Structures are given as structure tokens and as C-alpha cells.
Chains A and B, each alone.
Chain A
């Protein structure tokens, strides 16, 4: 009896060590690409990230210097447009799923949102090309923003639903028992309690679509100059990186590296903000 137990114990220890080693190696494998990509970007791009990069328009072929200010501003404009459509629809949809709706309708909506989350992003570009670009006969910032918003909606919808469901029922009951209407309870109590989580979902969705290139190819199209009207083609950082990266010029390659570095840093910053936001979790649940 004793022997067996001792034997088992050793074997268990070996298994345990084995499992934790495999887990550790896997963790390294997950982090390594991120570190490598960032290092590579730093090495190749840091040299070209300078004041000009953030303040000047792209230089013509052959001329040195120039920057991507139009692409950076363009990306921000596209994100603003995408947010203007995607945030209200996503948040309200998520609140509907969590607070209203019958079980069966919710099941279908939830399933569809998950399917939409899995649709390749280029598909949204093609859809918006067909629906908007062809109809209004031209690429535009509006079309780009719409394409990005369609990617954002299911993302925001699902995170909003999840964090709203986390709000304990006691708070809803407490508000309703004060004679507060259902709608006001949801807006002032439930959504306020879940606001950190909702904002986190929005920021992560913005970070995700901020790096999207494919849906912008047939919609925003890109622009080497300032965009003066949202119904005209507009530059975006990922598009500019794409254009420069596939070009044959060394100068442009360097600019593409710099652009990629700026983009990754931006996404990284958003994630850090999200981290800071979600740190004070202990006080409330969400």
C-alpha cells in the first residue's frame, strides 16, 4: 500500500512538472512573436519616426523625407465615423440582448453576432463596395467608416451584453423598487455600473478596426493628399503602409516600417488604457 502510494506520488510529480513545462513553453511561444515583431519594427522603423513623419504629407517618388500626417488624421477620421455608427448600435444591441428580448430571439441574435465576428474583414469591404461605393459612384471616407463599423458592431454587442449581464440583479430591483422606470434603471443604474466594461469593449473594438486594411481597400481607397470631404477617398495608416510596403522604393519601405511602428504603438497604448481601466475591478463587479 505504502509503496504504491509513494510510486504514484513520484509519477504524479513528474506529470505535474511535465505539464507546467509544456504550459510555460507554450506561453513563451505566444509572447515571442509579439516581442519579435515589436523589436523588428523598432529596428527598421524607429529611424524614420520623426517630427516630419507626424507633420508632413507623403513626399513624391524620388524625393526624400515626407510623412504620413494625412494617413494618421485619416485613420482617426475613419475611426470616428466607424465609432459614430458602431458604438451606439453595438452598445444598444448588447443592452437589448442582456435586458430585453425573449430567450429564443436572443439565442438567434447571439449566434448571428458570433457568425458576424468570424466573417473575414475583406468581406465587409466587398459588401460596402457593392452597397455604397457602386451606388454613389466613388470611394469615400463614409464607405470606409461604414465598413469598419460593421466589424465593430458584433464585437461591441457581445462585450456589452456580457458586462451588462454581470451587473447583479439586486441593483435593478433596488432601482425599480424606488419607482424608477425600466428604461431609466437600465441607463442610470445598470449601464452606469457596467460602464467600465462597456468602454473597454469599445476601446478594444476601435483598436481592432484601427489596424484593418482589407475592408478599406475598396471603400476608403487611400489618398496621397489631404482629404477635404468625407465623400472623397481618404488615407488611412494601414492602407498607406500597405501601399508603401509593396512599392519598389527603399524610401517608401522605411516609411512603411515607421507607419507600422506607430500603428502597433497606438494599439498597444489602447490596450494599456484598457488594462488601467479594468484594474479597479474589486469595488464593483465589472
Chain B
């Protein structure tokens, strides 16, 4: 049952294909929460980047993280799949529970965490040495999946989910870097979806895209939340308002306010939130 310490990667990936989503225990609060963050603090060396954050992330919903630059948004989202550990000398206190299992307990392999909590980055980064098709299935391949039929099926399904299939189905052998910026970002989303994560983290996924490409990604996020739990960082207030169900406002590493997006945007309880949303600072 302990999914985070699974040993054979191929089985863990294959298993999850046919397995229905785990039933949510009845005693859990409604709405169900895929991720529960409790008293989380993160240090880079002596600098505390995240200060005692407690937050529950609802399943099958979009949670937007907003706040001015340097407020710890990126650190926070990266701590949800332990990507922030790539920076040397980081230290974590508190817990992050994914379906009840602590991501930071000592017997957990960060690679398995990242297989279950996928990530899309600000700058699209398809692997330059690989074709469009290879880019999508590389995660499965490097996790040990060899079955070509399975890979082909997953390739098509991931590209369809990322709303890219129709545009690239005849060009799967072309380099991933030959696509336009918006297509590249959707390719990266397809790549992240191919390993079938439970949660998808998006660190400013549209900040390098033009409005049309942005609209496509936003539409995509709206569709993906039926299957995935999504956490996204954004600098764009309107975007947070359009795409998210919940919004968390961070300032100086602290969670200032968290709640349904409609409430945060129309009737925030904190003064700082209101000031930020109305553009008085940030």
C-alpha cells in the first residue's frame, strides 16, 4: 500500500494504468484533499524561504499560488515534489502528505515522489536531442517501461490530453524543439502526463507565451482538473481568477490568505491580500 517506497518502477507505472482512483476515506473533510501541507518551513542555508505554512490542496481542482516576486511561491510549489532539494543546503520542517503519506519521511525516494507529483516549468524545455514522440515517452522509458504497444498508446493518450495530438500526429519524428513556444509547452505537459502523476504542478506555465497560446493552456488546465489535482503559480491576477478554484496568497514566505478564488478576489479578509489583488503593491 505504501506507494511512495515502491521498488520496481515498471510495475508501479503499469499498475496505476488499470487501477481505478483510490477511494477517498469517508472521514476526510469535504472537499477531498490530495495534498495536505502542515507547518511547512523551508530554509536555504540560513535564509527561511517558507515560514510555517499549513494548507490543504483539494483534489481535482486548480489551486493558484499568487504573491509578489520573492515571496516563496516557487519554493513552495517545488517543495511539493521535492524539486527544491536540487539547491544545495536546503532544510525542511513540517510535513507534506500525499494521499496520507509523508513525502519527507526518511524512507521515501524523491524520484518516486516526482513520479506521482509531476511538474511543468516556466520555460518550456523539450529535450533537444529527441523527437516529439520520444519527448513524450522518455519518462516512461527511463523508468523502465519497454512494452512498445503500451508506449504508443500512452504517447497518443498523453498528446490528446495535452490537446496537441491533432497538431503533431503526422510529425512525431520531428524534433521537439521545432514546435512553436505554445506547442512546446503543451508538449512538456504531455510529457509530464505520460507518467500518470496524481498531481500536476505548474510553475508559471504561461509567462513566456503570447495571449493565444496562453488561452489554449488555460483551457487545457480547465480540462485536466477533471483527472488531476493541479497547483499553479501565476503572476497574472486575471489568470488566477479565470482558471483556479482556490487561491493562496503568499507574502514574504508566509501564507497570508487561502480560500475559494471567488472569495479571495471579491471579499478578501486580509488587508494585504486586497492591496495585492487590487495592484496597490507587488
Q: Which residues of A contact B (CB under 8 A)?
A: 168, 170-181, 184-185, 188-189, 192-193, 195, 283-284
Distance A178 CA – B195 CA, assembled complex (angstroms): 7
Other than the known A177-B118, A177-B121, A178-B195, what 12 A-B pairs have Cβ atoms closer than 8 Å?
A173-B119, A173-B121, A174-B127, A176-B111, A176-B114, A177-B114, A179-B111, A180-B139, A181-B111, A193-B128, A195-B129, A283-B177
Please give the distance in Å from A75's CB to the nearest CB on chain B: 33
Given contacts A178-B115, A178-B142, A180-B139, contact A284 B123 (CB under 8 A): no
Q: Judging by beta carbons under 8 Å apart, are A173 and B125 in contact?
A: yes
Taken residue by residue from 129 to 153, chain B's Cβ proximity to chain A (1 for < 8 Å, 0 otherwise) reads as 1000000001100110000000000
- In the assembled complex, 28 residue pairs joining A and B whose CB atoms fall closer than 8 Å, in A order, are A168-B125, A170-B121, A170-B123, A171-B127, A171-B128, A173-B121, A174-B121, A174-B127, A176-B111, A177-B81, A177-B118, A177-B119, A178-B115, A178-B143, A178-B192, A179-B111, A179-B114, A179-B115, A179-B139, A179-B143, A180-B111, A180-B139, A185-B142, A188-B138, A189-B127, A193-B127, A284-B128, A284-B177
Residues of B within 8 A of A193 (CB): 127-129
Distance A172 CA – B115 CA, assembled complex (angstroms): 15
Distance A252 CA – B114 CA, assembled complex (angstroms): 68
Distance A30 CA – B143 CA, assembled complex (angstroms): 52
The total of interchain contacts (Cβ-Cβ below 8 angstroms) comes to 76
Q: Judging by beta carbons under 8 Å apart, are A179 and B112 in contact?
A: yes
Q: Judging by beta carbons under 8 Å apart, are B125 and A178 in contact?
A: no
Please give the distance in Å from B93's CB to the nearest CB on chain A: 23
Distance A22 CA – B127 CA, assembled complex (angstroms): 45
B191 interface hit (Cβ, 8 Å): yes
Which chain A residue shows the least CB distance to B140? A178
Residues of B within 8 A of A195 (CB): 129
Please give the distance in Å from A158's CB to the nearest CB on chain B: 23
Please give the distance in Å from B5's CB to the nearest CB on chain A: 13
Distance A177 CA – B115 CA, assembled complex (angstroms): 7
Q: Judging by beta carbons under 8 Å apart, are B86 and A173 in contact?
A: yes
B188 interface hit (Cβ, 8 Å): yes
Q: Judging by beta carbons under 8 Å apart, are B118 and A184 in contact?
A: no
B181 interface hit (Cβ, 8 Å): no
Residues of A within 8 A of B114 (CB): 176-179
* Most chain A beta-carbon contacts within 10 A, residue among B123, B139, B142: B142
